[in-house]
């Protein structure tokens, strides 16, 4: 898994609310020394940020 994250450092994690997606993302980022940015897609502001995903990810 770590090799894949080095190749493609953007991961989309979907699932029902409150099952641990954010906790999992933070644990993985902590274990591999990376930074995690979690965007809840039910928030309109986050969806607007993702309209230009390249700019969002560069920031």
Domain boundaries, the chain: 2-58
pLDDT at residue number 4: 73
Is 40 in contact with 46 (CB distance < 8 Å)?
A: yes
Higher-confidence position of 40 and 5: 40
Tell me the per-residue pLDDT of 6-44, one tens digit each, with 9 for 90 and over: 777 777 788 888 899 889 888 988 888 888 788 888 899
Higher-confidence position of 35 and 45: 45
Is 21 in contact with 13 (CB distance < 8 Å)?
A: yes
DSSP label of 18: T
Is 23 in contact with 7 (CB distance < 8 Å)?
A: no
Is 49 in contact with 56 (CB distance < 8 Å)?
A: yes
Q: How far apart are CA 17 and CA 5, in angstroms?
A: 24
């Amino acid at each position: 898994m770590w090799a894949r994250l080095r190749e493609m450092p953007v991961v989309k994690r979907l699932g029902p609310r409150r099952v641990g997606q954010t906790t999992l993302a933070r644990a993985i980022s902590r274990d591999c020394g990376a930074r995690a940015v979690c965007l809840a897609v039910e928030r309109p502001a986050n969806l607007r940020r993702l309209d230009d995903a390249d700019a969002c990810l560069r920031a």
